[in-house]
Structure 1
Amino acid sequence: MTQIDYFFSTISPFTYLAGNRLEEIAARHGATIAYKPLDIIALFPRTGGIPVKDRHPARLEYRMQELQRGAKKAGMPMNFKPAHFPTNAAPSSYAIIAAQKSGGDVGPLAQAFLRAVWAEEKDIADDAVVRECLGNCGFDPSLADSGLLTGAETYAANLEEAVNRGVFGAPFYITGEDQRFWGHDRLEDLDAHLAGRL
């Protein structure tokens, strides 16, 4: 069975715009998904990127146009200047890591955190928001308090793995054959690759 290693950040707008398309593609091809939340702010300087706040105005203007087009194409509500961005992505990432270890389906949970940032004006660094997202996705809200050390270690390990495997942004998908796909707009290519067409 094919595994897709999915490197993402719970504060990435482009990860939000991917919606549940990765999960649909994986189901279509009988693939599994290994969710690997990472610290995107720490990833950028290690792989040649620049944090959003430090980018040239031309890049910021283009980014905004891309987000607006992406939201329209996906038919997704989106606040392009959310009240809680950037925020500390660690608590939500730890919750995803704990939920994945519990054996549940974390796709909807990851999407819930992203939706909270980009459509619901919620701060995913807030413990109450983390618990709410866990509960709404069928997980025990107390997972927010469990395995914090393991969560921190895994979160850091995900970053190191990402750097070592050529990840430089989010969302980023890597197949078992080391085929890499960066961005929500490359999901069609990932689908075609898994189908043997690309």
Structure 2
Amino acid sequence: MPHIDYYFVTVSPWTYLGGNRLEEIAEKHGATITYKPCDMNRVFQSTGGLPLAQRSQARKDYRMQELKRWRAALKMPLTLEPAHFPTNPAPASYAIIAAQAAGGGDTGALVQSILRACWAEEKNVADEAVIRDCLSAAGFDPDLASGGMLTGAMAYEANTEEAIQVGAFGAPFYLVDGVEGFWGQDRLDMLDLYLSGALS
């Protein structure tokens, strides 16, 4: 059974645009997923990337063009400049980690709910009330928003270090069986082909 380690940040529009395609692909191929939110700014620092604010204007302008194109292509609601971006991704990340460990709900749905809250609903995903609502909607105990902070913080640091070690350098990043990496929601079709055995 293949396994996918999924490295991402809870305020990434590109992660949001992945929607539920990863989960659909995993189900199709009988693959399991471990959700590993991480500190992407630290990953950038270690791998030569730059946070959005430090990128050239040409790169910022192209990012906007691509967001508009992908929004239209995927027919997904997306606010190009949401009211609460950037915001601190850590609290939502801690909640995802705690929820995954606790079980009882749908982790994929939780991740998507948090991303949608930022990019389609213009909510602050660093706000505990928003996180609690997302937890409840995905079938988890909303108290994990606060009760899972310590465990979440420790795992968040570990996820970040692991992401750097395995060669992740941006979000979303999908790693199959610790070997084959795919960067970006626009590589999900390639991930599907790989799991189908169509790529060597």
TM-score by length of 2: 0.97
- CA drift of 1:147 comes to 2.6
Deviates most, 172-181 or 18-27: 172-181
Letter aligned with residue 62 of structure 1: Y
Whole-Å Cα distance in 2 between the matches of residues 181 and 69 of structure 1? 21
Whole-Å Cα distance in 1 between the matches of residues 17 and 151 of structure 2? 29
Q: Unaligned 5+ residue runs, structure 2?
A: none
- CA drift of 1:177 comes to 5.3
Letter aligned with residue 85 of structure 2: F
Letter aligned with residue 84 of structure 2: H
After superposition, residues 33-72 of structure 1 pair within 5 angstroms as 33-72=33-72
Does the residue aligned with 1:170 lie in a helix, a strand or coil? coil
State the Cα deviation string for residues 64-85 of structure 1 (Å, max 9, x = none): 1111111111110000001111
After superposition, residues 68-147 of structure 1 pair within 5 angstroms as 68-103=68-103, 104-147=105-148
Identical counterparts, % of pairs: 60
Asked whether the equivalents of residues 106 and 139 of structure 2 are also in contact (C-alpha less than 8 Å), the reply is no
**Paired positions, count:** 198
Runs of 4+ in 1 over 4 A off after TM superposition: none
Does the residue aligned with 1:141 lie in a helix, a strand or coil? coil
Task: Mark the CA change 1:177 to 1:10 in structure 2 (over 3 Å): closer, same or farther.
Answer: closer
Aligned match of 2:197: 196
Whole-Å Cα distance in 1 between the matches of residues 88 and 175 of structure 2? 25
- CA drift of 1:184 comes to 0.3
Whole-Å Cα distance in 2 between the matches of residues 94 and 77 of structure 1? 26
TM-score by length of 1: 0.98
Alignment RMSD, CA only?
0.8
Q: Unaligned 5+ residue runs, structure 1?
A: none
